[in-house]
Amino acid sequence: MSTDTALVVIDVQESFRHRPYWSDADVPAFIDRLQRLVDAAKTAGVPILQVFHVDPEGAFSLESGHVRTLAPLVITPRAVFHKSRHSALVGSGLGVWLTEHGIRNLLITGIRAEQCCETTTRHASDSGYAVDFVSDATLTFAMTDRTGREWSAAEIKARTELVLEGRFARIIDADTAIASLSLRKAA
């Protein structure tokens, strides 16, 4: 099946379990939604592209053994890319792959919603892609700002949705994305 849409799974990797801010609190629901979306994309013949963040040292280094799919997600990507920047479109080869395969629409998912997922969304939009930010198939963690205020993961995701919606992406949930993929398969 020919498609101009791809599911991009950003930084859903074991490396994060080794960060001090890691929390399991939202992981089961995130994995459930992302797995259903991955399965729907596979069934619809939509390419699934997996991006891993790689650093020279630490939990994000290839040598660490943690640059692998976050368990228990099961994914068979069409292509895998490594990035060392926030945007998955910088230096990874992803943009070349998308162009070569005629992809113009992206479903963005992954970890962390407000960092690599948001940055990739902005970059993709500015590069001419239509982007659906599948917000409930992104994950993030609480953060403390420079004044000492702690922002919950929910607050950070709400802020991310606010700044992306209508400017850089359409904000959708996994059920909407799955329904769209199901319609694509039926067509």
Cβ-based burial of 59 (10 A; exposed 0-12, middle 13-18, buried ≥19): middle
24: domain CATH number is 3.40.50.850
In a domain, 172, yes or no: yes
Domain count, the chain: 1
* Cβ–Cβ under 8 Å, residues 58 and 64: yes
Q: How confident is the model at residue 2 (pLDDT cuts 50, 70, 90)?
A: low
In a domain, 187, yes or no: no
In a domain, 117, yes or no: yes
pLDDT in tens, 40-86: 999 999 999 999 999 999 999 999 999 999 999 999 999 999 999 99
In a domain, 102, yes or no: yes
Check residue 15 and give its pLDDT. 98
Q: Which domain holds residue 88?
A: 5-182
pTM comes to: 0.96
